[in-house]
Structure 1
Amino acid sequence: MDTRLMALLVCPICKGPLTHEHGQHELHCAADRLAFPIRDGIPVMLEAEARALDDAPPPAGPLSAA
């Protein structure tokens, strides 16, 4: 993911910083303990699509060309 884009993205709930978890294809918000998926190189910043970080990691799927 582009570092310029990462500098602009914040958690849609608390507006806090996000960390990019490359291996899981997710953006993590430590404050809210949520993981937002990155699909086809596009971050899905919807609360309904986020998973709690206390949950098990998502199943491994096909890798995108991002």
Structure 2
Amino acid sequence: MSATIEPWLREILRCPVCRQELVDGTGPEGGAELQCAGDCEQPGQRRAYRIDGGIPVLLAEEARVFQA
């Protein structure tokens, strides 16, 4: 999935909205993404950030919002 992201970078990445840890996930179309491990702004609401060419796109306005 996100194996192309350097381990040292994975340790420091956080959700830009709620500052929770990001975990590996798979998007609705099957692509790799990083998903917020905690609630963002509302109970049960989380954000997922796509990975483009091994680079996580950590822009809140481009994040996929989903219910946990």
- For normalisation by structure 1, the TM-score amounts to 0.70
Alignment RMSD: 1.6
Between Structure 1 and Structure 2, the one with more helix by share is 1
Equivalent residue of 1:37, what SS? strand
Q: Which amino acid aligns with 1:13?
A: V
Corresponding position of 1:64: none
Corresponding position of 1:10: 14
Corresponding position of 1:53: 66
Higher RCO structure, 1 or 2 (CA under 8 Å, sep 6+) = 2
Aligned length: 54
Percent identity, aligned pairs only, is 41
Between Structure 1 and Structure 2, the one with more strand by share is 2
5+ residue gaps, structure 1, are 55-66
